[in-house]
A = this chain, B = another copy of it.
Amino acid sequence: MNFDAITITDIARELHLSISTVSKALRDSYEISETTKKRVLEYAQEHNYRPNPMAQSLKKGHSKSIGIVVSNIDNQFFSQVINGMESEAYSQGYNVIITQSHESYDLEVQNVNHLTHRAIDGLLISLSTETNSVEHLKKLQKQGLPIVFFDRVSSEIETHKVIVDNFKGAYQATMHLINCGYRHIAHITSSAITSVTSERLSGYKQALNDGGIKINEQYIKYCPHGGMDLNEIEQAVDELLALKTKPDAILTAWDRITTSTLALLHKRKVQIPQDIALLGFTNTLLADVLNPSLSAVQQPAFEIGRKATEMLLSIINSKRPVTEFETVVLPTELFIRSSTDKTYKPDQ
């Protein structure tokens, strides 16, 4: 706002009042007479006065904005999460500043620094797949910056967290595949260090166990870059297809991996679900109109974002330091469509 805007000083000068009188009148203080208040308010209105937020922030010691770090905004899941965050933040008079880590640890650190440079009152973060040290966040937390994790959390930092029941989501999905009659179920997932990955992996394994199916490590493929690197997924898919006993179903654990796997199977002329069934975690709105319509584990993305923000703002607005932290676990939802349908006929 380097453009000429009217300040409190201008009003004081014009109205032959002191700066403090104007300031108080503007905030409707009881100390100021009704007459003066009216004069000031009218003048302010007329000249479109807006308090300078930088001055206010400096004086008050907070910026009324919160920082967000996600891996990629260009991803249905995260953009829905951000929607929820924005909604909650705005309703409480806060701005959000969004940054992307693009699944890179270095970028994550850089973004976090950039954000704290730029005066945020709190941080909402989903870790990048590369991240296995959270020292950069620990330091900030120690300095007093409120942090709330969502989606991909760290167990090394004690704070509020919002996640989904990844174990159950993956368990239900795998169990659905088993119930449909699939026996060779592969799993393509992301970096092994990410919380989300290991929880979903456990759910997958447990379901296989409970279904009396032996776990085959060859059926589990890791894509360390979480779907950002198409080559990784391509290699994973090709390795699965090259196996003597090819899988008859694939459970993909991440949004990007799911849609990429679908595209790759297409390109290789693999019939879904006749040759291989596909079921994946994804929040795409297009699951219904994909070819074939895609069975999916969907996350309550908007609610994740909203809840995480609510928790962050509760820390920010808390009078006393917060020492009791909570981890909110939201349920996933399984949508069954054609891509896991044994009786599927391509021509509808």
Contact = CB atoms under 8 A, between A and B. Distances in A.
A79 interface: yes
A27 to B, nearest CB: 15
Interface residues on A, range: 35 or more
Interface string A67-90: 000000111100110110010001
Interface string A46-63: 001011111101100111
B97 A97 contact: yes
A285 interface: yes
Contacts of A96: 97-98
A119 B117 CA distance: 16
Contact of A52 (B82, B98, B119): B119
Contacts of A346: 346-348
A327 interface: no
A53 B97 contact: no
B79 A95 contact: no
Interface in A282-317: 284-286, 288-293
29 contacts: A1-B61, A1-B62, A1-B63, A1-B116, A1-B145, A48-B139, A51-B117, A52-B119, A53-B117, A54-B57, A54-B63, A54-B119, A64-B118, A65-B97, A65-B118, A73-B82, A74-B76, A75-B79, A79-B79, A86-B99, A86-B100, A98-B98, A259-B289, A263-B286, A286-B290, A289-B291, A291-B291, A346-B348, A347-B347
A331 to B, nearest CB: 21
Interface of A: 1-5, 48, 50-55, 57-58, 61-65, 73-76, 79-80, 82-83, 86, 90, 95-100, 114, 116-121, 139, 143-145, 259, 262-263, 266, 269, 284-286, 288-293, 346-348
